[in-house]
Amino acid sequence: MINLLRKDFQEAMPILEQLEAHQYKAYFVGGCVRDFLLKRQIGDIDIATSASPKMVQEIFAKVIPVGVEHGTVIVRHNHGSYEVTTFRVDGTYSDQRHPDSVEFIDKIDEDLKRRDFTINAFAMGKDGKIIDLFGGREDLDRRLIRTVGDGRQRFQEDPLRIIRAVRFVSQLGFSIDPETLEAMRQVKQEIEHLAVERLANEMAKLFAGNYLGDGIAYIKRTGLYYYLPVLREASHIIHRIPDSLQPLSSFGEVIALFHLLEPGQTVERWSRAWKCSNKVRQEAKQLVEAIRYFMENGLDEWLVYRLDNAYFYGFIHLINNLKLEKTVNLSQVQELAAKLPIESKRDLAIKGHEIAAIFPDFKKGPWLKRLIQQLEEEVVRGRVKNTTFELKEWIQCNPPETD
Ligand code: ATP
Ligand code: MG
């Protein structure tokens, strides 16, 4: 029986029950069953069913048809979202993004066969019984990543699985089965044709893994980096990665680290080659700036003020990973942040238009922005009090240079 304490499965149970009440088969599948067996925290709960996407949409009140052509419907239940996917077999993957076609089927067996690794190919019924057709439980015990079926064929179908193998090493601390590893070596050049967004998604998970060092060791051993954006031209970077790398919690941290290890490859270049969002690029830039400032000046109010709170962890991760001579810990950063007199320029006791009014003859221009930044720094460093009177006084003593 499923441990009644596992609240996450209990909450999703009514979805299985409703599907079964309509005479369909339904199981928990994939990573959630693996993590349940490993007693790890479960990410998201995925469900596989014999009901067609159309039926799933009819049965449940709140649905989001995210990928109906691939059989996936999101079912909202209480406060959770669950991907419910119709049992399917995949056609060929000619674009290495999506299978060209999928065929919906009635039995779970073939659906489990299309899954990448034995430890990801479990299904678990309502009664807690586990379907394990490929020796997944044994592989969990042996801590092994092994493809379902012939590795070469499975990696050729979808080369993303090569990266996923390393991602699971990094998350679980498992080894890769020798035959699977050999297949990865043979097919590795195919990862060049993958959609970068898919790659980046897996890489972000890889770099956040608790056994990141093991993952990187596989990337080195197999030479996978020769086929990854940026790294393929600047392959020496991989050898600069410190051995005992600590997990990085976002791709922005990853880019910042790589850029600091090899300043010749800019944040811009990394972000473009990996098609990162603006947010990731900005995060990388802020982190790089903070680390450079820290190396020169150490930790102070001005550094903490300019670094977004959300990046404090990343900043510490980078300091540790770069093995900088000076170190700091998170609570030191947080303590400084808590004591800051202002959080942003909006908190300044003088507004832009008030400053402009002091200099009616000056044309609008970058001088104002510069002056505001100076005020921020004076206030943050505690040299000027954040009162309108004192700020005005400081401005009068330090009149701006116009452009
Ligand atoms: P996580 O806990 O990070 O979500 P996961 O194992 O659930 O890990 P997902 O990427 O969410 O991984 O995929 C869900 C399941 O779908 C996998 O466990 C696997 O069975 C299957 N799967 C996902 N991607 C592939 C793929 N490229 N090839 C074959 N099967 C895949
Ligand atoms: Mg998942």
Question: Which atom of ligand 1 lies closest to the CA of 157?
Answer: 28
Q: Separation of 211 CA from ligand 1 center, angstroms? A: 19
Domain boundary residue among 247, 269, 289?
A: 247
Q: Are residues 115 and 1 in the same domain?
A: yes
Q: Are residues 18 and 106 in the same domain?
A: yes
pLDDT over 60 (residue 368): yes
d(C-alpha 325, C-alpha 147), whole Å: 43
115 lines ligand 1 (CB under 6 A): yes
- Give a yes or no: residue 49 inside a domain: yes
Q: Write out the H or E segment, with its range, that includes residue 83.
A: strand 80-86
pTM for the structure as a whole: 0.91
pLDDT over 60 (residue 241): yes
Q: Are residues 131 and 79 in the same domain?
A: yes
146 lines ligand 1 (CB under 6 A): no
Query: Which ligand is nearest the CA of 33, by number?
Result: 1
**Which domain CATH number covers 196?**
1.10.110.30
pLDDT at position 243? 81
d(C-alpha 346, C-alpha 353), whole Å: 13
Helix boundaries (H) for 274-387: 278-297, 301-306, 312-321, 330-338, 352-358, 366-380
Q: Are residues 68 and 171 in the same domain?
A: no
pLDDT over 70 (residue 97): no
| Ligand 1: residue whose CA is nearest its atom 10 | 31
**Which domain CATH number covers 350?**
1.10.246
Domain boundary residue among 214, 232, 247?
A: 247
Query: Which ligand is nearest the CA of 198, by number?
Result: 1
Q: Which domain holds residue 393?
A: 345-397
Q: Are residues 222 and 187 in the same domain?
A: yes
pLDDT at position 130? 96
Summarised one tens digit per residue, pLDDT across range 338-354 is 999 999 999 999 999 99
pLDDT at position 365? 87
Q: Are residues 370 and 389 in the same domain?
A: yes
**Which domain CATH number covers 129?**
3.30.460.10
Choose the residue to mutate in 28, 36, 120, 147 for probing ligand 1, maximizing ligand atoms within 8 Å of C-beta: 120
Tell me the β-bridge partners of 49: 26, 86
Q: Are residues 282 and 377 in the same domain?
A: no
Q: Are residues 98 and 219 in the same domain?
A: no
Summarised one tens digit per residue, pLDDT across range 151-206 is 999 999 999 999 999 999 999 999 999 999 999 999 999 999 999 999 999 999 99
d(C-alpha 104, C-alpha 60), whole Å: 19
Q: Are residues 213 and 293 in the same domain?
A: no
- Give a yes or no: residue 403 inside a domain: no
Give ion ligand 2 contacts, CB < 5 A. Answer: 31, 43-44
Residue appearing with tokens 């050898």: 239
Inter-residue contact 156 to 66 (CB < 8 Å): no
Q: Are residues 118 and 167 in the same domain?
A: no
Burial 202-214 (b: 16+ CB within 10 A, else e): bbbbbbbbebbbb
- Give a yes or no: residue 177 inside a domain: yes
pLDDT at position 94? 64
d(C-alpha 246, C-alpha 237), whole Å: 17
pLDDT at position 90? 86
pLDDT band with cut points at 50, 70 and 90 for residue 1 = low
Question: Which atom of ligand 1 lies closest to the CA of 121?
Answer: 20
Summarised one tens digit per residue, pLDDT across range 121-143 is 999 999 999 999 999 999 999 99
Percent of residues, the chain, with pLDDT higher than 70: 97
- Give a yes or no: residue 40 inside a domain: yes
Q: Are residues 335 and 349 in the same domain?
A: no
43 lines ligand 1 (CB under 6 A): yes
pLDDT at position 67? 87
Q: How many domains does the chain have?
A: 4
Question: Which atom of ligand 1 lies closest to the CA of 161?
Answer: 27
Q: Are residues 57 and 85 in the same domain?
A: yes
Domain boundary residue among 182, 215, 247?
A: 247
